[in-house]
Copies of this chain bind each other. A is one copy, B any other.
């Protein structure tokens, strides 16, 4: 037993080998071939993207092509797509020498994850019982992008400390867990969560934090010289911040109800985010001796309002309600960067490179709570009779549900997403701890040279740590 334990220890602490020339191509190829086969068996065009659409139109008395769901959702889809690839990708380029990894691995795992998401979400949400097929359209693409967002959030916690192979494994399990928790929350509990405060941000946040906890590196300070920004890398990161910030109204409205649902979600998110910017700036300025602003806060906390309105954006939270949510999120998220992140690292041993706890996990939980309260407080006088039914989808099995009950189920959904994140992350973290995935040594973290051909040698001044 002692010997085994010693053997295990040796096994785990042996010299790191970051050669991924075998594992990375194999995972990519095997996976992509599997996807082709599974898509061949399961995935078909839905009736709005099928060449039989002309017959569908005649059959359903649809008078114009403009009624095709494509025209309701495509602009929002493209905005979400930009958020996933440019938004998340560039937001993580703030590290001085990890821009390739930030943008490139984000690109890889999103492309990988969205295919699996179409299958997983299809099996759980839209498998046609008669044909055994999954019929996809533009809404499926949006949902796949959403699902991937959860995994990209988790990437933020481990940025610079894992190999691309680990990221692919993390994404594979992340998408799987996502589809299950989403099924429980949206279908079984019948909670509403159009912008994903719970299913995307809370889940993704805790999933990443739990993985980061399991992969804790006590000697991470050995790569401290790399763990910071330079002037231009902070500017690149602002590209990510702004595209996320600007398109968040599309994110929260992309799959809400046609008409007023999408319209209202946009207005609420727009206002909430504007409010967040002001309180973020206020707290950031307060936190420094002479009132200087910190780019870390501006890059991240300004987005917390969008996260926190993910559930309630489609509700009649009213414009000032949206401002209030944003007001508190900016404060809480910025304070998170100042006080909570150091605490998490020192006490709970959670090394959170991008501070996803402050940007996604906490605001996600706030969003779940706001959603539950707003739902419970909904009334026919505010929504109108039919409006209430439409907004909360009180139809079919749920036609007798009251708003109070709905509030309760919203809160329950919140808990489900936390549990899935924490437990799922702990398990997946353990898998990722196996010493076969090619992760970097402690002294080589946050350095693109490990996994990328870097043509230009890093110069001294770029790598000097900041000495105030």
A50 lies within 8 A of chain B by Cβ: yes
Query: What residues of chain A have their CB less than 8 Å away from a CB belonging to chain B?
Result: 18-25, 28-29, 31-33, 35-37, 39-40, 43-45, 48-55, 57, 64-72, 74-76, 78-79, 81-82, 85-86, 89-90, 93, 96-97, 99-100, 103-104, 107-108, 111-112, 114-115, 136-138, 141, 164, 228-232, 234-236, 238-239, 242-243, 245-247, 249-250, 258-260, 262-264, 266-267, 270-271, 273-275, 277-279, 281-283, 285-286, 288-295, 298, 302, 316, 318-320, 323-324, 327, 382-384, 386-388, 390-391, 438, 450-459, 461-462, 464, 466-467
Known A243-B86, A278-B112, A295-B452: A21·B290 in contact at CB below 8 Å: yes
CA A229 – CA B457 in complex, angstroms?
Answer: 11
Contact of A19 among B93, B291, B457, B459 (CB under 8 A): B291
| 21 A-B pairs with C-beta separation under 8 A | A19-B290, A24-B281, A25-B285, A28-B282, A36-B323, A36-B324, A45-B260, A49-B260, A50-B387, A51-B382, A51-B388, A51-B390, A52-B384, A65-B258, A70-B263, A71-B71, A104-B295, A111-B275, A138-B266, A229-B456, A293-B452
Residue of B nearest to A29 (CB): B282
Contacts of A18 on B, CB cut-off 8 Å?
290
Contact pick for A32, options B288, B290, B323, CB 8 Å: B323
Residue in B40, B228, B323, B387 whose beta carbon sits within 8 Å of that of A35 in the complex: B323
Q: Is the beta-carbon distance between A234 and B100 smaller than 8 angstroms?
A: yes
- With most chain B CB atoms within 10 A of its CB, the pick from A70, A72, A456 is A456
Closest 8 CB pairs of A and B: A21-B291, A51-B387, A53-B260, A65-B259, A111-B277, A28-B282, A39-B320, A65-B258
Q: Once bound together, how far apart are the Cα atoms of A204 and B302, in whole Å?
A: 26
Identify which of B81, B136, B239, B388 contacts A239 (C-beta below 8 A).
B239
Extra contacts besides A54-B259, A65-B258, A74-B266 (5): CB < 8 Å = A29-B278, A48-B263, A51-B390, A54-B386, A107-B302
Shortest Cβ distance from residue A54 to the other chain B in the assembled complex, whole angstroms: 5
**CB-contact partner of A21 in B31, B93, B289, under 8 A:** B289
Q: Is the CB of B238 within 8 A of A104?
A: yes
Q: Which residue of B lies closest to A80 (CB)?
A: B246
Inside 8 A of A270's CB, which chain B residues have their CB?
A: 141
Copies in the complex: 3
Q: Name the CB-closest residue of B to A56.
A: B260
Given known contacts A51-B264, A70-B263, A100 and B279 CB-to-CB distance under 8 angstroms:
no
Q: Which of A57, A68, A69, A390 lies at the interface centre, i.e. has the most chain B CB atoms within 10 A of its CB?
A: A68
User: Complex Cα distance A33/B53, Å?
Assistant: 47
- Contact partner, A452, options B69, B115, B274, B292, Cβ 8 Å: B292
Closest residue of chain B to A141, judged by CB?
A: B270
Whole-angstrom CA separation of A29 from B286 in the bound complex: 11
